[in-house]
Amino acid sequence: MPDNPLNLLLPPSPEFFPKPGKTALMVIDMQYFDAHPDWGIGRLAKEKGLEKEAAYFFGQVAGIIPRIQQLLSTCRRDDVEVIFVRIQALTHDCRDMSPASWARWPRQLLTAKDSKEAQILDELQPQEDEIIISKTSTSVFNSTAIDQILRNLGIEYLIVVGVATHACVELSVRDAADRGYKVFVVGDATATFSEVLQHDALQRMNSGLMKVKSTEEMLKLISRMVSEKVRL
């Protein structure tokens, strides 16, 4: 039986390709809160004696950083808009964060305004004038003006990387597709807490206006896009 029997009822999803001037790279939640073993989630895991359980995730995060760096370098060189998304409250006491979403998180895990946990990892620091969007929801589309910003920029295609694949990445990708954006998820530049979560999330995102690509495949698509721009 196919992974999704519904696919038997539907025609194959059409292929699409990134377009010059209409494509953005979105880096999701690669920050100290959830992508560094000594801060946020990593620090809490150590305090609770769960370092071994957290080791898989942080090992995966370490593995995707070079791929994200490669994509950042390529996109910056080829004039692809770069957008960073992070979890950060508007206030120092986090009172603006959704109680429904964050009530079960310990206080030290709330990403207060200007906190270390809210900072993007040093290895992936935004360059001058690159957009940084702070959110207080799982999907970036639910607590920010990201949709308006993308439309102001003329963006129609998104390249998405970051963490966690089954949560903030997947929900943001689905919300983007629902709004008509064509989304490339770079599967080997995303990470989550288990192989099963990673596999299942990528499988769910590989349909319709969502396509899962490897870093190598995505770089080739960007190269193709640049070639088309030169011909134009």
Q: Provide the sign of the torsion angle of the four alpha carbons 104, 201, 178, 79, taken in this order.
A: positive
Domain ranges of the chain: 20-231
Which pLDDT score is estimated for 1? 40
Span 15-48, pLDDT tens digits: 899 999 999 999 999 999 999 999 999 999 999 9
Q: What is the pTM of this model?
A: 0.93
Q: Which homologous superfamily does the CATH classification assign to the domain defined by 20-231?
A: Isochorismatase-like (3.40.50.850)
Give the side-chain half-sphere CA count within 13 A for 135: 27
CA distance 66 to 144: 28
Tokens 């990708």 belong to residue: 173
Assess contact for 68 and 124: CB atoms under 8 A.
yes
Tokens 């070639």 belong to residue: 227
Residue with the larger pLDDT of the pair 121 and 3: 121
Q: How confident is the model at residue 211 (pLDDT cuts 50, 70, 90)?
A: very high
Quick one: the chain helix, strand, coil %, rounded to 5?
A: 45, 20, 35
Three-class secondary structure of residue 187 per DSSP: strand
Span 91-118, pLDDT tens digits: 998 888 877 656 677 776 789 999 999 9
Percent of the chain with pLDDT over 90: 81
CA distance 77 to 84: 17
